[in-house]
Amino acid sequence: MTKTWIFLVLMSFVLLAAAPPLPAQAEERVIYMQAMEPKGGVTIDKEPFPGNTLPAGGGYVIKPPDAKGRWEVSTYIFNPSQIIVRKGDRVTLKIIGINGDKHTGYIEQLHPEKFTVKRGLITTVSFTADKAGRFRLGCDEHKPSMEGEIIVLEQ
């Protein structure tokens, strides 16, 4: 090998390392989600009823002890509650309603129309992630807990 050839090979590596990365290609993203209600319950002989007030809005529910002393607490959530995509991606959410008769959903700035998720049905919401940032995904009936975010990364 000549010194010139070695120099050219080394310079090629230097130039490649300094080159800006190629922009990522926009993707078609399909994300499967659930609108659900985790809940738990116990009897007062095992755990006393807390007797506190939870935030208003329908997202948190606490049922006082019944005739048998059983009490329950539940909340409504989107699962997953955080979605990460790249700017330019075409995003399709397929949301199945598991609990709650309906969820009037919204995605701030990315999807202008509200959508409705119903128990036992899959609601499809599609949009292009055309701006970078954090965008709220929420449900009008179950605030403040049924909220998530869509994070759109720059290319």
CATH at residue 28: 2.60.40.420
Report whether the peptide linkage leading into residue 23 is cis, meaning its omega lies within 30 degrees of zero: no
Strand partners, 8: none
Tens digits of per-residue pLDDT, 31-64? Answer: 999 999 999 999 999 999 998 899 999 999 999 9
Could you tell me the pLDDT band of residue 12, with boundaries at 50, 70 and 90?
A: low
Does 70 fall in a domain? yes
Top pLDDT among 17 and 127 is at: 127
DSSP secondary structure code for residue 92 in this structure: E
State how far the Cα of 93 lies from the Cα of 114, in Å rounded to an integer: 13
Token readout for 155 is 């290319």
State how far the Cα of 127 lies from the Cα of 31, in Å rounded to an integer: 12
Question: Does the global pTM surpass 0.85?
Answer: no
- The tally of domains found in the chain comes to 1
Does 15 fall in a domain? no
Parent domain of 37: 24-153
